[in-house]
Amino acid sequence: MGAVTAARPDLIQARTIAQTAAEPALIEACQWFAAERRWINEKHLELCRIPAPTFQEQRRAEWMVAQFRSLGCDARVDRAGNVLAHVNGDHGGQMVALTAHLDTVLEPRSPDDIRIGRDGEVTGPGVADNGAGLAALLAVAGALRGNRTLRDSALPLLLVANVGEEGEGNLSGMRFLCRQSGMGSRIASFVVLDGPATDHITCRALASRRFEITCSGPGGHSWSDWGVGNPVHAISRAITFFAEQPVSSGPRTTFNFGLIEGGTSVNSIPASARAKVDLRSESPSRIDEMAAWLTASLERAIEIENDRSTAGRVSAKVREIGSRPGGQVAEDARIVRHIRAVDSHLGIRAHIDCASTDANIPLSLGLPAMSIGAGGQGGGAHTVNEWFRAEGRETGLRRILLLLVQLMRDLDPSAAR
């Protein structure tokens, strides 16, 4: 027999997962997902209709606390705004954390912005990213609520609905959980739920840095003050210079100018302008190179604008507004072997990928972590037409539960039944 690889789980783990899945308590818990399909869908819809843009997650957090408590969990909000829920009380030892972020890039302006089609498809901001992950947290809590065998085994599970994952949230909720809260040192492994599907295993953290460019000048009238340095012209030129740089064919690298603002009217020379850019790469050193090129591009653009002006000059600065660390867990690590064995048992074909998620923080600290989808189907993330369909959700939930049980039994093998 050839050597075992990360893509093919060893026979011992495969048998372990099969035995776990065949336990009456696990069968009952997994059947709950199908029996309560309608309840899960209703909770998914309800939570998505509560606006939760980054930095404004409080209402949704309070709703999640109430839901967890109704499911028998000991739930509270920590100082960062994260919701922490112990499924079977806090026994003071090591835990496994199942997390999903509360915040969304866009928010519904009214409940009607989250709508259901005739085919059951849900459409609207955040319904997949991360409505799917949050609904899965509640589904796991619900499946364990009435399952006396699993609850009596004192499985050490912490459910976390965290703040600050998207955009300029800069992973603030996960940073607090891992680095500042008393919980961080007690979490042995992290399973991060981000979006739908079951086709990926993110165990490599994509590093990123985000910058804001600001440019200022005297401003004036478009006719009578013509010749004054124009901040919008300068920033536009800087973006062009930066975008013209050749992208290396080595580690995958991307950049995106996602926001440009400036000026007050079409016939006024702007007094200020700003732009925000996101730099990402599988190579942290490549991000540093791009950051240096960004500064050089801006300096060159400012010099040209001031050389062209006949009056007031412009000035500019670059400010870092976010940084996500990279990291990874080996593809033959125990947590990866577990999810591979679970996927083999369930007939799921998933690929290892590299992405930027809440898992970046524990991975950067050398902790076992991964990000996976919560099941179902979805797309259009970060748009008003984001969509989610529940087909396949139950398989995703079974996958999550089997992985969690195995990770928790690693902490105390005697907990196995």
- Could you list the pLDDT tens digit for every one of the 417 residues in the chain? 344 444 454 777 888 899 999 999 999 999 999 999 999 999 999 999 999 999 999 999 999 999 999 999 999 999 999 999 998 888 889 999 999 999 999 999 999 999 999 889 999 999 999 999 999 999 999 999 878 788 766 679 999 999 999 999 999 999 999 999 989 999 999 999 999 999 999 999 999 999 999 999 999 999 999 999 999 999 999 999 999 988 767 789 999 999 999 999 999 999 999 999 999 999 888 999 999 999 999 999 999 999 999 889 999 999 999 999 999 999 889 999 999 999 999 999 999 999 999 999 999 999 999 999 999 999 999 999 999 999 999 999 999 999 999 999 998 755 554
Go through the domains of the chain in sequence order and give each one's CATH number: 11-205+326-415 (3.40.630.10), 209-324 (3.30.70.360)
State whether residue 356 is helix, strand or coil. Answer: coil
State whether residue 252 is helix, strand or coil. Answer: coil
Q: How far apart are CA 151 and CA 201, in angstroms?
A: 28
296-325 pLDDT, tens digit per residue, is: 999 999 999 999 998 899 999 999 999 999
* Helix residue spans in 156-283 (DSSP H): 172-175, 231-243
Q: What does the block give as tokens for 185?
A: 């040192």
Q: Tell me the pTM.
A: 0.90
210-245 pLDDT, tens digit per residue, is: 999 999 999 999 999 999 999 999 999 999 999 998
State whether residue 243 is helix, strand or coil. Answer: helix
> Rounded to 5 degrees, what are φ and ψ at 332?
-105, 15
Q: How far apart are CA 122 and CA 385, in angstroms?
A: 10
Q: How far apart are CA 306 and CA 314, in angstroms?
A: 7
Q: How many C-alpha atoms does 411 have within 13 Å on its Cβ side?
A: 19
Q: How far apart are CA 397 and CA 375, in angstroms?
A: 7
Cα 319 to Cα 175, 235, 285, 299, 322: the distances in Å are 21, 14, 19, 14, 9
Let me know how many helices (H) and strands (E) the chain has, helices first: 12, 19
Q: How far apart are CA 378 and CA 102, in angstroms?
A: 17
By CB atoms closer than 10 A (0-12, 13-18, 19+), residue 182 is exposed
Tokens 């990866």, residue located = 336
Q: Which residues, listed in sequence order, are joined to residue 116 by a DSSP beta bridge?
A: 122
Cα 228 to Cα 43, 224, 234: the distances in Å are 56, 10, 12
Q: Are strands 74-77 and 157-162 parallel, antiparallel or unpaired?
A: unpaired
State whether residue 211 is helix, strand or coil. Answer: strand
Cα 249 to Cα 8, 146, 254, 376: the distances in Å are 30, 54, 11, 34
> Rounded to 5 degrees, what are φ and ψ at 128?
-100, -45
Measured over the CA atoms of residue 68, residue 71, residue 72 and residue 73, the dihedral's sign is negative
Q: What does the block give as tokens for 227?
A: 């010749």
Angle between helices 37-48 and 24-35 (to 10 degrees): 60
